[in-house]
């Protein structure tokens, strides 16, 4: 078994991961009630707006390994603007991965294990906040999701295999 890396395969997988992040983040915010961006589950817990802002910061940090510099974005005034900037940054990072990787600064696996996985974790937190706020996100079989590495914007496809049977937690447990 060879331990050599195939840059084309790495680029494809990283770009698909970014598209998966776009899809799951949109799933988390699609159809959210007015004011959801400011929902705070408890003191010291980030709001959805703060989470997307942090996700943008994490992706911008990943970008610095390919471009150099520092990325510390100011928080956008509106949740919608924050989501828009997040998707723009996903698109930019995908372009950079395609043209600038590999780099001696960071490997594809480091990018995946660090900032990209961190951002995906926060997408899951937003989905949890939807449930806590009383507006749960319907489940789906993500294996069947129509995810396209060329689509990193907010216009993501609807669930291809929604799960009609919710596995609700036992209220008495």
Low-confidence ranges of the chain (pLDDT < 70): 1-5, 102, 166-173
pLDDT of 122 reads 98
Token pair listed for 120:
């995906």
- Give the CA distances from residue 101 to residues 39, 60, 67, 130, in Å, rounded to whole numbers and listed in that order: 38, 16, 11, 36
What gap in Å lies between CA 129 and CA 79, rounded to an integer? 15
CA dist 45 and 32 (Å) reads 18
Secondary structure of residue 108 in the 3-state scheme:
helix
Q: How far apart are CA 153 and CA 86, in angstroms?
A: 9
Question: Is 15 in a helix, a strand, or coil?
Answer: helix
What is the reported pLDDT for 65?
92
Domain 7-144, architecture per CATH = Up-down Bundle (1.20)
Helices (H), 5-113: 7-29, 48-67, 79-100, 108-111
Domain residue extents for the chain: 7-144
The confidence score (pLDDT) of residue 15 equals 96
36: which DSSP letter?
G
pTM here is: 0.91
């Amino acid at each position: 078994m060879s331990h050599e890396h195939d840059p084309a395969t790495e680029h494809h997988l990283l770009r698909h991961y970014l598209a998966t992040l776009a899809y799951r983040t949109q799933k988390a915010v699609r159809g959210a009630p007015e004011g959801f961006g400011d929902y705070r589950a408890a003191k010291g817990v980030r709001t959805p707006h703060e989470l997307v802002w942090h996700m943008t910061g994490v992706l911008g940090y990943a970008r610095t390994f390919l471009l150099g510099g520092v990325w510390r974005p100011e928080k956008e005034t509106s949740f919608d603007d924050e989501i828009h900037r997040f998707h723009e940054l996903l698109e930019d990072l995908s372009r950079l991965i395609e043209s600038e990787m590999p780099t001696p600064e960071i490997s594809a696996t480091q990018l995946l294990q660090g900032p990209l996985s961190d951002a995906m974790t926060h997408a899951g937190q937003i989905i949890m906040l939807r449930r806590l706020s009383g507006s749960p996100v319907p489940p789906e079989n993500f294996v069947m999701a129509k995810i396209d590495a060329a689509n990193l914007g907010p216009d993501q496809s609807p669930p291809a295999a929604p799960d009609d049977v919710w596995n609700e937690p036992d209220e008495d447990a």
